[in-house]
Structures are given as C-alpha cells and as structure tokens.
Amino acid sequence: MPLADHIEAETGWRSAWPLREPLIDLPEDTQVSGADWDRLLQGEEDRLFDLIEYFHRHVSQGIGDEHGSQYHDHGGCGWHYQVFDPAPAQALLRQRMNRVLANYRGGFEVNDSGQVEHRAHDGLDQLIGAQLPALGADIAGRVAGAIALYRNRGRTEQALRLAVR
C-alpha cells in the first residue's frame, strides 16, 4: 500500500501526504480576519499534528548486524535491516519535534505516547508532574482527567477554565 494511502487510512485525512506547499493557498488579494485565519489554520494544524502522531507510531530504527542485517555500499545503499526497534527512533522524533513545537502558538510537545499536546507553562509543569498523595482512585482519576483536558491540543477556553478549576 502506498504511504499516502496508508496515512489516509489511519488518519482519515485525504491527500495529507505529501504536504502541500503552501499549506494554505489563498489568492494574493484575499483579506482574512483573525477569527477566519484561526479557522483556516486549525484544519491544517490538526492535519499536521495528526501526521506527527502517525510518524511517531511508525518510525523505527534498524538493529545492527547481530540480527541478520547486512551492509553493502553498492550505489550508496547501506544497511538492510531485518529487526527494528521503535523506541530510539521515537525518542529522536520527539526530541526534534519538541524543539520546533515548543515555539509554536504558546507551546506544544509530543508526549511519550506520541500525542501532540499543549505544553504546561513554567511552574505548572512541576505541579502537573508532581506525585499525588494517596487520596483515592476517584481523586486521582479526576486529576488525570483535568490534566488531559488542560493539555489537549484542541482545547477551548471553556475547557481550559474547567481543567484549571
């Protein structure tokens, strides 16, 4: 199955890959208000974030020659791997993407499970990462739900207020 078809099947985005250039193609004389621009950008942002999550799920690193891998330099070809490990490649993808996403619209990051989410602001990140006292599963579940709502990439102002409350 071609990559573009596989991405469409998993993400639901038709023609998501390869990326278009420019991502948003408007006629030169088009005037777009702030709210309209946010709506235009939101669709492309969702598509791009879904692609980042897709590649996080599927990226992998080949494991060396002790697992039947072979190297040859014919035509600059290189290694032919038989066994792959996703963890190192996923860590590298997160590291590189998080450097870029940290500066985008208030800050985003790819978490350890590969989801793109809002970064917690300085100070709040320590609160979010703190160990909860043993207060019961109900309270721990409510706190986890509030954190997920706060960090959700599609959160609204109302959801943000609810999460903080």
The pLDDT of residue 50: 94
The pTM is what? 0.75
Q: What is the DSSP letter of 19?
A: P
Encode the chain (165 residues) as per-residue pLDDT tens digits: 899 999 999 999 988 888 877 667 777 777 777 677 667 777 788 889 999 999 999 999 988 766 677 777 777 788 788 888 999 999 999 999 999 999 988 899 999 999 999 988 776 767 776 777 776 778 778 888 888 888 888 888 888 888 877
Taking the C-alpha atoms of residue 26 and residue 23, their distance in angstroms, rounded to an integer, is: 10
DSSP string, 113-161: TS-EEEPPPTTHHHHHHSPPPS--HHHHHHHHHHHHHHHBTT--HHHHH
Q: For position 132, what pLDDT does the model report?
A: 73
pLDDT at 67: 66
Cα gap 19→36, rounded to integer Å: 22
CB 59 within 8 A of CB 90: yes
